[in-house]
Amino acid sequence: MIGDRAVAGGVTPRPGGPIERHGSGGPWEDAYGYARVVTAGGFAFVSGCTATVDGVVTGVGDAAAQARAAFQIALSALESIGVPAERVVRTRMYVVRRGDVDPVGRAHGEIFGAIRPAATLVLVAGLLHPDHLVEVEVVAALD
């Protein structure tokens, strides 16, 4: 709790206001029941993004390349609803291999070094596709 407002996922929600869901047309959105971006409470939340482009995993074996591609997909999703990269306030990175932590962190720095969002990097046992090495999430402030 912060004051009398609960904190959900590290973000203090604003009461009321519209909730909008924006799809990208990706194959998993309908099958798994989620939207690429949800805006609510003054924030835009981008669902997990990987380096899958047109159904093909890019950067196979290269976690830094996958991180760059995944962040570009997330930033493009924000841009599609009129939110620039400079509004990003939080990122999360899920990395499969411990040895990829530094390359993924440095890729994050290349993209967000001037913006400096709050960031979390977590080692995980695996991701949806066996070639996925990285998945990312992004949160941006709307105003």
Domain holding 87: CATH number?
3.30.1330.40
The pTM score is 0.87
The pair of structure tokens assigned to 129 is 């596709």
Distances in whole angstroms, Cα of residue 82 to Cα of each of 70, 77, 141, 143 = 19, 9, 12, 11
pLDDT tens per residue across span 9-61: 455 555 667 999 999 887 788 889 999 999 999 999 999 999 999 989 999 99
Flag whether 42 is in a domain.
Answer: no
Judge contact between 140 and 22, C-beta under 8 A: no
Instruction: State the total domains in the chain.
Output: 1
Element (H, E) at 46: strand 43-49
Residue 18 lies in a domain: no
17, 41 Cβ separation under 8 angstroms: yes
CA 112 vs. chain centroid, Å, equals 12
8 is a domain residue: no
- Residue 53 is part of which domain span? 48-140
What pLDDT, on the 0 to 100 scale, is given for residue 1? 33
Residue 6 lies in a domain: no
